[in-house]
Amino acid sequence: MDRIRIVGGRPLNGRIAISGAKNATLPLMIASLLTDEPLVLENVPRLADVALLQRILGNHGVDVMVGGKRPGDGEYDGQTLHISAKRIVDTTAPYDLVSRMRASFWVIAPLVARMGVAKVSLPGGCAIGTRPVDLLLMALRNLGADIEIDGGYVLAKAPNGLTGGEIVFPKVTVGGTHTALMAAVLAHGPSLIENAAREPEIVDVADCLIKMGARIKGAGTSRIEVEGVARLDGTRHRVLSDRIETGTYAMAVAMAGGDVMLEGARPELLQSALDVLVEAGAEIAVTNEGIRVRRNGAGIAPVDVTTAPFPGFPTDLQAQLMALMTRAKGTSRITETIFENRFMHVQELARFGADIKLDGETATIAGVPRLKGAPVMATDLRASVSLVIAALAAEGETLVNRVYHLDRGFERLENKLINCGAEIERISA
């Protein structure tokens, strides 16, 4: 199993190209099941989760062709996927595939919407809490699907098609909103989604669906209106830039020091996180090229942050911020309100010498004057990159184990950091 070796103490200087957003790519790929015409996705990141979803879609009879680089493309330009679900040969998504990635459960919506039936295994993915699918199933029931759960599988039926309806989510849910959108676009009649997630990735998927012929109003607000259509067409769509990758590298620069241009980054996608970084002492400048992040020798100031749905501070940047705060000059508090069990990185950060105390959903971080490199183990996708951030500023050598978590969500992370002067290498087993 691969490991990553990092020797800390080097500032980051240079340019990092921000990849396409994983959290938009996966539902966009799944949306291909809604049409028998080709869907072409540009700027798709090279990630383990993307490759796994290709396998899952292939199981349904979907053909996925990966385009090569065009003349003039740079090393980190995203892939182009040509996806064709002309003929769906199987409406079952088996346990051995779905259990490896939660988002793959979302195939249930387009399958039942287009084919009238779907049998999908209950999901797996990161071990950061239960993240139940009850709200996703509620959305499908409200659109007329008959739902049964048997032997670890969800069987959804709508032999005469789904029917428009009203979906009121009791709490904000990204997965539920994606599911409701993909089900409603082919339902008979109008649908209303209340308390919808407002994340930029929801808007990106809605924009693509609109290009395919869907009638959607209000994406990006808490109230989305959908008028169902009989069929959707193919289209070409470019995936938006990854705000979590942007925030991660911005925090890495704030931690290690230096001056880095994050090419293609869009500040409006993560303004709350950028505001926190400025409060912590980083210099943020927005340019036509992206976002420039700098930190001089003044040190890191402590901050108090509570995670919240968009436009609040993202839960997917909580672990990275915690790593940064381990070196702050003072005491910080981070409260996690989205997922339980999302503090598993605390024990690993402590191996660097971090001083972190947990009380329920709040972590109190007392900044320390130095961190020391150590062998550490990644526990989930975002936690794993927090260990990389800590290692960049730690004295001596760090070995990060179980880096397959990193490969699920960060494209060529070590290469991007090496190009900015970090001493980091992948050690293959």
Give the residue numbers annotated as catalytic, written as ranges: 126
134 is in an annotated binding site: yes
Other beta carbons less than 10 A from residue 248's beta carbon: 28
132 is in an annotated binding site: yes
Q: Kindly give the residue spans of alpha helices, DSSP state H, lying in 72-228.
A: 95-98, 108-115, 134-142, 174-184, 200-211
Helix/strand/coil percentages in the chain, nearest 5: 35, 30, 40
Map tokens 């911005």 to a residue. Answer: 250
114 is in an annotated binding site: no
The two structure tokens encoding residue 408: 């699920």
- Check residue 221 and report its DSSP letter: B
- Check residue 103 and report its DSSP letter: G
- Measured CA to CA, the distance from residue 182 to residue 288 in angstroms comes to 34
CB of 267 closer than 8 Å to CB of 286? yes
102 is in an annotated binding site: yes
Task: Tell me the C-alpha to C-alpha distance, in Å, between residue 215 and each of 1, 112, 138, 231, 378.
Answer: 47, 19, 22, 11, 42
131 is in an annotated binding site: yes
The two structure tokens encoding residue 41: 């996705």
Rg (CA), the chain: 22
- Of residues 416, 398, 414, the one with CA closest to residue 406: 414
Helix (H, G, I), strand (E, B) or coil at 405: helix
2 is in an annotated binding site: no
CB of 301 closer than 8 Å to CB of 280? yes
CB of 177 closer than 8 Å to CB of 220? no
Task: Tell me the C-alpha to C-alpha distance, in Å, between residue 376 and each of 66, 123, 180, 385.
Answer: 35, 27, 39, 11
Residues 221, 223, 228, CA angle at the centre, nearest 5°? 115
372 is in an annotated binding site: no
266 is in an annotated binding site: no
Binding-site residue numbers for phosphoenolpyruvate are 22-23
Binding-site residue numbers for UDP-N-acetyl-alpha-D-glucosamine are 102, 131-135, 316, 338
Binding-site residue numbers are 22-23, 102, 131-135, 316, 338
